[in-house]
Amino acid sequence: MALTHPLNPPELPSHCTLPPGSHCSKHNPHPPNSFQSLISTITDILGPSSGLDSTDIDVNDLKSAMRSYQSHEAEWAEYAHKDLSRNYTRNFVDRGNGNANMLILVWTPGKGSLVHDHANAHCIMKVLKGKLKETLYEMPSVPDTPLTVTRSTVYNSDEVTYISDDIGLHKIENPDPENIAVSLHIYTPPWAEQHGCYCFSEKTGKKTKVQMKNYYSVNGLIESKKPQSC
């Protein structure tokens, strides 16, 4: 059954793990495991209250925590909803006390994202299953010109990568034509959810604003709203 939201949802208490507009409870439905311990560790690193700026965040601590987790599919499978009619699905896991969006993305074989930025926030990605190709681009400085590729890297299961707008733009693709790939993403601060981000044309550099408030699923339950994403 899909989740529905009230027209005027109450403000979420600080302990809630759900995104704005979703039901919240103090009860934690997830039994302890290494994946849930990782989520708790990331939340502890980010601190107890929302309002972080990008400069307040120790990215090295977050990357170290992500690298320390060895992926076990049984621990995160409840979040990993695939939909082969889409390039990928964005599945919400936790808010990190309002300081982050923690998402599991499931990538359709042979499909990927558009080129996009990260709303002046940090993005740490860990491959949980399969492999993913990341292509980096320079931020466009001249209108109506093709984007410039700076690097392409294939990441395997349990490898971690990081990007911010200081590094440039990127797109992510599943290079496997037959098997899905799964990744965990930490976006902090959660500015893309709040303000949207930009997708870019590889041929012209033209950017388009995209809202990122909706998810394919929230805490394992498929949402009724159609998500927008790059």
Kindly report whether the peptide bond that precedes residue 13 is cis, defined as omega within 30 degrees of 0.
no
Does 185 count as an annotated binding residue?
Answer: no
In angstroms, rounded to a whole number, what is the distance separating the alpha carbons of residues 175 and 133? 6
In angstroms, rounded to a whole number, what is the distance separating the alpha carbons of residues 59 and 124? 8
Does 30 count as an annotated binding residue?
Answer: no
Q: What is the phi/psi pair of residue 5, to 5°?
A: -120, 145
121 near 180, Cβ under 8 Å?
no
Does 116 count as an annotated binding residue?
Answer: yes
3-state class (DSSP) for residue 24: coil
The pairs formed by 53-56 with CB atoms below 8 angstroms and a separation of 24 or more are: 53/189, 54/120, 54/121, 54/122, 54/164, 54/189
User: Between the CA atoms of 119, 99, 76 and 224, what dihedral angle is there, to the nearest 10 degrees?
Assistant: -70
95 near 17, Cβ under 8 Å?
yes
Binding-site positions:
116, 118, 170
Residues tagged in the binding site annotation for Fe cation: 116, 118, 170
